[in-house]
Structure 1
Amino acid sequence: MTQDSPIYNSRIIKIYLEYLRKVYPDIDIDELLSYATMARYEVEDPAHWFNQVQVDRFYEILVLKSGNPNIAKDAGRYTASAEGLGPAKQYTMGFLSLTSIYLLMRKIYPLISRGATIKAKKLSSNKVEIVSTPNRDVDEKPYQCENRLGIFESLPKLFIEQFAQIEHPACFHKGDDACRYIITWEKSPSFIWKRLRNYAFLLNIVGPLALFFFLPLISWSIFTFGFVSLTLIVSFYSHFLEKKELRKTIHTQGDGAKRYLDEMNIRYNNALLVQEIGQATISILNVKKLINTIVGAMEKHLNFDRGVIMLPNKNKTHLVYAAGYGYSKEKEKLLRRTEFHLDKPNSEGFFAMAFHGQKPVFINDIAEVEKQISERSRQLAKQMGVHSLICVPIVYEKESLGILAVDNVDSKRPLTKSDENLLVGIVSQTAVSITNAISFQRVRESEERYRTILQSMEEGYYELDINGRFTFFNDSLCQILGYFRDELMGTDNQKYTDKKNAKIQFQAFNRVYTTGLPSKRFDWVIVRKDGSKRDVEASISLIKDSKGRKIGFRGIIRDITDRKREEKEKEMLLTRLQQAKKMEAIGTLA
């Protein structure tokens, strides 16, 4: 591990912050987090981990601001009362006995720290030994040992109202091989009364039998009745205490179960969202329809109150509203009217910052960054009621295509780093989809222009497969050959020429196929559907696939019948003119 390796879970810092709010409410938490290069949304995210440098800086500023050198242990002792542990606390309480919790600390501790390896051994019914050895390349500090000791002390508070007593005979930070803790705790009231009940039951059987031979029957009956009554009272009271402790545990577990269900629903909805977006990227090739589908899926499955996608205009000078959800009609109109400048390199708006910087912008509290953003952005945030925001750029191969922004207004749920990571995954798919849709649109436009040009040509354009069958042609070719489109598609040259010209045609195409060189012009005669013959000239070139393999031919065909007839007529006129000149010369000589 390195100094930058994620070792300590955010739950540890969250417990510190809960303790500060209770004991040191005047300390500025944002100042502490800023000094430690931590963010509130990272602390709120139970899936986030901090490195050694960050937690060291946090502890350094914490001791300075609180003036309490023992604050690490004090915060550790607060662990059992804190909500910051979340699922880890519920997992711990699931063992239902302190002995089980301590003995399974090797599995529980990694939920909050990867910095040490834990081993535990039972010494008696209410006493265990725990050995903590820092992992290789982890620079664990003494305050972290104190914090761990405080955590171990606090665990009995999950079940009883007392801390554990801990002996610390060996410490890694004092030169020993590992930190060794001998932990003893008071037995719960229900355990003590249960033990008394068991003894009472035993005496209730043995006592009356032994006294039966020494006491008068009336005295023995009174004694036996009293002893049975006392045993029942002890039994009922132990049962009452046991149920009371169990109710407390069940209540806590019930809250945890609700949180588990909420987390499961979030994960399920996230999976459905990814699936829907994946299907949209395959089937939808229209940018507007694609964006609306993605926004609809987000509204349906994500736990954000509002969301918006903004795309650049044609000139890429402004970001404009593309689609959104969760906004009132007035606020949506405001977004549609507002254009965010992209042509100002030093723009301080968070949308432009995310678009140009190609990095997510996470604003936990608008009030904290008011001085860093433009006046226009401050006014817009105020009008839109924005308090916190995640803005993620939609980027494909280093080109920004737009931004996706979300916030919470009604639910007040804090935004987390996991939310940002989820949105980054969404926009990566969205970027590919938008690029594919734009490319498809461009191809369609190109094909449309291509077809328009081909259909407006007087010459016939054709494409043949390698066997000489038509695969594509324009209307002019149909007019030249005298066939309808359906009659020509898939046919070869035998349909529109005679044997002599078919041979000429074959030789020309074979020469192009063999040499790979195009033929700019060759002439032959075609036979139209009505039996009439026409003179044509054609160009031929090879069609190759992406691997360079020959897969067909393409070219232009012109009807030169009229031109040939005119040439023949011109030739005949020239011949007659020459003959006339000869006759005139003979007459002159005569």
Structure 2
Amino acid sequence: MSHETLYNSRIVAHYIRFFQHKFPAINLQDLLDVAGISATQVADRRHWFSRCQFEVFYQALQHASGLAQLAKEAGSFAASEEVFRASHHLIDSSTSPLSALRALPRIAAGLTRGVRLKARQLAPNLVEITTVHEAHAAEAPYDCQFRLGLLEALTFLFNLDLAQVEHPDCLHHGRQQCRYLVRWQPSLAEKLQKLKARVVPLAVLLPGAAATMDPQWALFHVLPLTVGSTLLLDLVASHLNKKRLVRSIDHLRSTSEALVEQINHNYNNALLLNEIAETTSNKTCLEDLLDSVAQTLDKRLAFDRGMILLVDPARRILLFRAGFGYDPTVKALLQGTTVLLDEQPEPDLLRQTFTSRRGILVADVDNPPPGLPPASLQFFVRTGSQSLLCCPITCDGRANGLLVVDSLRSGRRLTQGDLRLTEGLANVIGASLNNAQLLTSCSRQFDSMLQVLAATIDARDPMTSGHSTRVTAYSQGICRELGLSTEYTEMVRVAALLHDYGKIAVPDAILKKTGTLTPEEREIVRTHALHSEQILQEIGFDGIYRGVPALAGAHHEKMDGSGYPRGLHHGDIPIGAKIIAVADFFEAVTAQRHYRGPMPPAIAYKALQEESLCRLDPRVVEAFLDYYQKAFPDQFRAMTLGDAQPERASVRIPCRTPVVCEINGNTLIGTSSDVSLRGIFVASQAQVRQGLELKLA
């Protein structure tokens, strides 16, 4: 049996709708499962089924129905059902039955790939339909019967008078092809037009001939009779033609209105699916995602109420998570209700939908479908539902929840079309939930990786443990005060957490040295900023994190160009690096280090203000102080109102002033950095050997 795809999903849909109309009690899903056909495939008009699948499906239908002429009846139904409305528009707007039959090959081309139809006019009221079979596709007898039923139904739909459909040649009876002849009697208007064409010459000749015998009789009797008969015949024929044209125009108008309505319906559904996809594509918070979905459903759908239930991690109960249209009392009741999924003796709408992963339509809650006891619908009956439908929220074949919508008794009854739409929405919601879970998982793994990277620095030196975390918190606070975007704040957060990662390249002997660093050691320490940038570039940050390496590498740059590693000035330093610089400075001076103790709050405050004069961005410093005041009001009060007097001899007080020293008779010019009770710290370009005595000039 051929596995080549020959049958479009629309022909399967015709059979399904015929079966639902003819045998509503038969469970079609079981028949579809036998053939391996899913509802999603049937709904997709671009999907094609193989000969093998369709053969199994047809045999299952025939066995369940017992109809010998199943294909012929299905073809007749397909020609008249609502889904063929587009074809009706293609045909009914024609002005002749011939045009209607000529359009049939275009319709058939969208149903099967195994055969093509050709239409040929043999006489004014006779059309021949023949088949051209593809060499790779063997046709079954039911294909021929389906076409025959389709043709017979079309002759009825288009009111062809006394139409006959003959099937003189059949491929399955030893002929080379299937051949159909469609005959019909001309309409009364056509007959009158033909009669008129014959009467007009007589109306011209007869008075002339009569005038040769009796002019007076010809003038007063023959001429009025022939002219009157001709005019009457023309009037009746014109009237019938106008009626036919009016019917055609009315049908075209109604068909156009129906098509416009269908287009609007499809457009709104497409907008709905697109809006749900857009609003949920970047959501990682489950509650935000579900609220967005509920709001979109409420705005776009014609349902009165709806709710989303999700399964718990243990997959034992369903919980209400979001909804729309419910009054506060009912919503409060739903929020405190759980649906047990454990095996229960009595069937239940929600449990049955979840376990079977099939949508259920209850067109009338007072008359539920077979197998669904009225007791399972009591909640919906008590809250005023007229009809409802319940669809599983699935992803990768696994049910994760339910989407339930209903209409109240003052509204419309829900239909199979509503069920198909809701099933599609439930699939989109399921994919969105899965996407949110994946994003959350990736975000959690990303944060874990960042914490591990930051922890490797803390592990190098326990004394500086927590430095990166505190700098990150300060940096995020500054970003909020400056009103920066969420994306940029996130980039600053990552850069702040990893800003000192380059210190893994600094030897422990230098990193943990308790004494003063030599100029060479200081230069080695300064390389950590560039190492941070280079290492982070290897990670391959992308998207909103693209600038992380640059921010981490520039966190020691200063506004006056005295920073490192590149000596950038104010306009060249990214705002994110300026933020991390302020946070890093304040955390560093207020924390314990190997070579000094922490600055008292008041001294740190003054140092920060002084740094903002030339090295740190004053706007960023102001934003930091605003954040610090809100986050740590007591510490901020002590910092701004406290005594600036050092409490320990090892405390260094910022003091920046030109200094001139003498070393072995040579003059050294530099700038003081800090002052303590133990001495003054001077920065200079000159190389000075440790241990030499300096004299202030």
Cα distance in 1 for residues equivalent to 2:44 and 2:503: 72
Match of 1:336, as an amino acid? Q
Of 409, 422, 426, the match for 1:423: 426
CA contact (8 A) 2:392 2:399 kept: no
Closer/same/farther in 2, CA of residues 279 and 33 from structure 1, 3 Å limit: closer
| 1:470-499 CA-partner distances (Å, limit 9, x unpaired) | x94677xxxxxxxxx99xxxxxxxxxxxxx
Closer/same/farther in 2, CA of residues 70 and 361 from structure 1, 3 Å limit: closer
Closer/same/farther in 2, CA of residues 60 and 310 from structure 1, 3 Å limit: closer
Q: Which residue of 2 aligns with 1:391?
A: 391
Cα distance in 1 for residues equivalent to 2:445 and 2:69: 67
Name stretches of at least 5 consecutive residues in structure 1 with no aligned partner.
21-27, 465-470, 476-484, 487-507, 527-536, 568-590
| 1:223-273 CA-partner distances (Å, limit 9, x unpaired) | 122212111211221122223333444444444333312221122112322
CA contact (8 A) 2:170 2:179 kept: yes
Q: Which residue of 2 aligns with 1:152?
A: 151
Of 55, 59, 64, the match for 1:56: 59
Shift of 1:182: 2.3
| 1:116-136 CA-partner distances (Å, limit 9, x unpaired) | 311122212211211124555
Shift of 1:173: 0.7
Cα distance in 2 for residues equivalent to 1:378 and 1:165: 52
Cα distance in 1 for residues equivalent to 2:309 and 2:244: 55
2:512 equivalent to 1:521: yes
Q: Which residue of 1 aligns with 2:203?
A: 204
CA contact (8 A) 1:32 1:58 kept: no
Cα distance in 1 for residues equivalent to 2:212 and 2:42: 72
CA contact (8 A) 2:290 2:321 kept: yes
Q: Which residue of 2 aligns with 1:492?
A: none
Q: Which residue of 2 aligns with 1:240?
A: 239
For the residue of structure 2 that corresponds to 1:307, the secondary structure is strand
CA contact (8 A) 1:281 1:429 kept: yes
TM-score by length of 2: 0.58
Q: Which residue of 2 aligns with 1:545?
A: 536
Of 13, 16, 32, the match for 2:15: 13
Closer/same/farther in 2, CA of residues 141 and 295 from structure 1, 3 Å limit: same
Closer/same/farther in 2, CA of residues 274 and 378 from structure 1, 3 Å limit: closer
Q: Which residue of 2 aligns with 1:588?
A: none
Shift of 1:172: 0.8
| 1:304-356 CA-partner distances (Å, limit 9, x unpaired) | 4432222356877543222222445554344223212367799975656666x
For the residue of structure 1 that corresponds to 2:538, the secondary structure is coil
Cα distance in 2 for residues equivalent to 1:19 and 1:399: 31
Closer/same/farther in 2, CA of residues 249 and 232 from structure 1, 3 Å limit: same
Q: Which residue of 1 aligns with 2:295?
A: 296
For the residue of structure 2 that corresponds to 1:545, the secondary structure is helix
CA contact (8 A) 1:311 1:403 kept: yes
2:18 equivalent to 1:31: no
| 1:542-586 CA-partner distances (Å, limit 9, x unpaired) | 64437347875899863346789999xxxxxxxxxxxxxxxxxxx
Q: Which residue of 2 aligns with 1:481?
A: none
Q: Which residue of 1 aligns with 2:371?
A: 370
Q: Which residue of 1 aligns with 2:221?
A: 222
Higher relative contact order (CA 8 A, sep 6+): 1
For the residue of structure 1 that corresponds to 2:412, the secondary structure is coil
Name stretches of at least 5 consecutive residues in structure 2 with no aligned partner.
475-480, 483-499, 518-524, 541-548, 554-583, 599-647, 651-697
CA contact (8 A) 2:117 2:132 kept: yes
Counterparts in 2 of 1:322-471, with a 5 A limit? 322-327=321-326, 331-341=330-340, 351=350, 360-365=357-362, 367-368=368-369, 370=371, 377=376, 379-380=378-379, 383=382, 385=385, 389-393=389-393, 395=395, 402-407=401-406, 410-416=411-417, 418-419=420-421, 420-433=423-436, 436=439, 462=467
TM-score by length of 1: 0.67
Stretch deviating more after TM superposition (210-219 or 263-272): 210-219
Q: Which residue of 2 aligns with 1:579?
A: none
For the residue of structure 2 that corresponds to 1:280, the secondary structure is helix
CA contact (8 A) 1:87 1:260 kept: yes
| 1:108-150 CA-partner distances (Å, limit 9, x unpaired) | 2234555531112221221121112455565543344234223
Stretch deviating more after TM superposition (104-113 or 234-243): 104-113
Stretch deviating more after TM superposition (185-194 or 412-421): 412-421
Cα distance in 2 for residues equivalent to 1:108 and 1:176: 24
Percentage of matched positions with identical amino acids: 21
Closer/same/farther in 2, CA of residues 219 and 318 from structure 1, 3 Å limit: same
Match of 1:56, as an amino acid? Q
Shift of 1:201: 3.3
Q: Which residue of 1 aligns with 2:496?
A: none
Closer/same/farther in 2, CA of residues 60 and 143 from structure 1, 3 Å limit: farther
Closer/same/farther in 2, CA of residues 82 and 228 from structure 1, 3 Å limit: farther
CA contact (8 A) 1:404 1:427 kept: no
Closer/same/farther in 2, CA of residues 539 and 386 from structure 1, 3 Å limit: farther
| Cα RMSD, aligned residues only | 5.2
Shift of 1:41: 8.4
Counterparts in 2 of 1:178-197, with a 5 A limit? 178-197=177-196
Shift of 1:427: 3.3
Closer/same/farther in 2, CA of residues 441 and 197 from structure 1, 3 Å limit: farther
CA contact (8 A) 2:76 2:152 kept: yes
CA contact (8 A) 1:522 1:539 kept: no
Closer/same/farther in 2, CA of residues 339 and 512 from structure 1, 3 Å limit: closer
Closer/same/farther in 2, CA of residues 305 and 195 from structure 1, 3 Å limit: farther
Closer/same/farther in 2, CA of residues 71 and 411 from structure 1, 3 Å limit: same
Closer/same/farther in 2, CA of residues 255 and 423 from structure 1, 3 Å limit: farther
CA contact (8 A) 1:394 1:400 kept: yes
Match of 1:245, as an amino acid? R
Cα distance in 1 for residues equivalent to 2:111 and 2:402: 35
Match of 2:3, as an amino acid? T
Closer/same/farther in 2, CA of residues 266 and 525 from structure 1, 3 Å limit: farther
Shift of 1:222: 2.5
Cα distance in 2 for residues equivalent to 1:70 and 1:316: 47
Cα distance in 2 for residues equivalent to 1:112 and 1:311: 39
Match of 2:359, as an amino acid? F
Closer/same/farther in 2, CA of residues 423 and 317 from structure 1, 3 Å limit: closer
For the residue of structure 1 that corresponds to 2:84, the secondary structure is coil
CA contact (8 A) 1:123 1:129 kept: yes
For the residue of structure 1 that corresponds to 2:226, the secondary structure is helix
Closer/same/farther in 2, CA of residues 447 and 287 from structure 1, 3 Å limit: farther
Stretch deviating more after TM superposition (308-317 or 290-299): 308-317
For the residue of structure 1 that corresponds to 2:320, the secondary structure is strand
Q: Which residue of 2 aligns with 1:496?
A: none
Cα distance in 1 for residues equivalent to 2:178 and 2:539: 70
Match of 1:362, as an amino acid? G
Tell me the number of residue pairs that the alignment of Structure 1 and Structure 2 aligns.
Answer: 500
Cα distance in 2 for residues equivalent to 1:134 and 1:328: 61
Q: Which residue of 2 aligns with 1:585?
A: none
Closer/same/farther in 2, CA of residues 282 and 512 from structure 1, 3 Å limit: same
Shift of 1:157: 2.6
CA contact (8 A) 1:10 1:43 kept: no
Q: Which residue of 2 aligns with 1:559?
A: 593
